[in-house]
Amino acid sequence: MVGDDLVRMENLTIRYGDRAVVRDVTLAVPRNGILGIVGPAGSGKSSLLTALNRTIDLHPSARVEGRVTLDGTDVRQMELSDLRRRVAMVLPLPVGLPMSIYENVAFAPRMVGVRRRSELDEIVERCLTQAALWDEVKDRLDMLGTRLSGGQQQRLTLARALSTDPDVLCLDEFSIAIDPVTTMRIEAVLMELKSQMAIVMVTNLLMQARRIADVTAFMLNGELVESGRTGDLFVFARDQRTNDYLAGKFG
């Protein structure tokens, strides 16, 4: 399996000022699979995720030690905008940018210079279809993206993340602000997508990880307690803390 990891985090430590929020984490993301990261709030899951596409750099006090590689290349040696197109991010709260639905999805392709209308049309339709939103919005692509419902906006955010044709799709608690029906639809979408890209999903919902993650990692207070194939971890965790968390004793 080692050669089949697309993203590798090696001895990753993240500090904000003096406070280490992620400590010495070594973790890999399989090429065609979903990695679920679970753990109580404040365990460093989201910080870990932002280190993958270096949006953590936006945080002035953040320091990252160790390294993250994408397809064998250290992400610090990659061009930032290129890295962020290859490692797409869906944030917890849906963000419809204040432009039309069409422009929301065409935003990133336009930035890399796609100009032909037919090409853009194709990308927009493909991404909205992949995000299970196309049927609901195909007749009103000119409508402001911000006027969609929360669940629709989250799928719009997902469609936008897909518009760069990323290698890795990161989702940070994507279901926190949306209804269960939309959550299930997006989960189904992710199961479809994993044949085309690696997916990293930070979630507070244990059952969500259990449903769709191939590999699950458990983090606690910035440490990676253990990780393993989801089926194994949920049935037979090696670490007592994992067992306690999965059994609902804390968190």
| Chain residues in the site for other proteins (CB under 8 A) | 53, 55, 58, 80-85, 88-89, 91, 93, 95, 97-99, 107-108, 110-112, 144, 157, 160-161, 163-164
**Shortest distance, position 189 Cβ to other proteins, whole Å:** 19
User: What are 219's strand-pairing partners?
Assistant: 224
The answer to whether 204 and 41 have CB atoms below 8 angstroms apart is: yes
DSSP code at position 235: H
- C-alpha 133/C-alpha 185 separation (Å) is 10
**Shortest distance, position 96 Cβ to other proteins, whole Å:** 9
Q: What amino acid is encoded at 43 in this protein?
A: S
- The residue (of 20 and 170) whose beta carbon lies closer to other proteins is 170
**Shortest distance, position 196 Cβ to other proteins, whole Å:** 18
- The residue (of 176 and 211) whose beta carbon lies closer to other proteins is 176
Three-state DSSP at 97 gives coil
The answer to whether 36 and 71 have CB atoms below 8 angstroms apart is: no
- C-alpha 250/C-alpha 44 separation (Å) is 17
- The residue (of 111 and 191) whose beta carbon lies closer to other proteins is 111
- The residue (of 20 and 64) whose beta carbon lies closer to other proteins is 64
**Shortest distance, position 89 Cβ to other proteins, whole Å:** 4
Helix ranges (DSSP H) in the chain: 45-52, 80-86, 101-111, 117-130, 134-137, 150-162, 180-193, 206-212, 230-235, 240-246
- The residue (of 42 and 98) whose beta carbon lies closer to other proteins is 98
Please measure the distance between the N-terminal and C-terminal CA atoms of the chain and give it in whole angstroms. Answer: 31
Q: What amino acid is encoded at 166 in this protein?
A: P
**Shortest distance, position 224 Cβ to other proteins, whole Å:** 24
Instruction: Read off φ and ψ for residue 211, nearest 5 degrees.
Output: -65, -45
**Shortest distance, position 249 Cβ to other proteins, whole Å:** 34
- The residue (of 143 and 188) whose beta carbon lies closer to other proteins is 143
**Shortest distance, position 156 Cβ to other proteins, whole Å:** 11
- The residue (of 11 and 81) whose beta carbon lies closer to other proteins is 81
In terms of Cα–Cα distance, which of 36, 55, 16 is closest to 222? Answer: 16
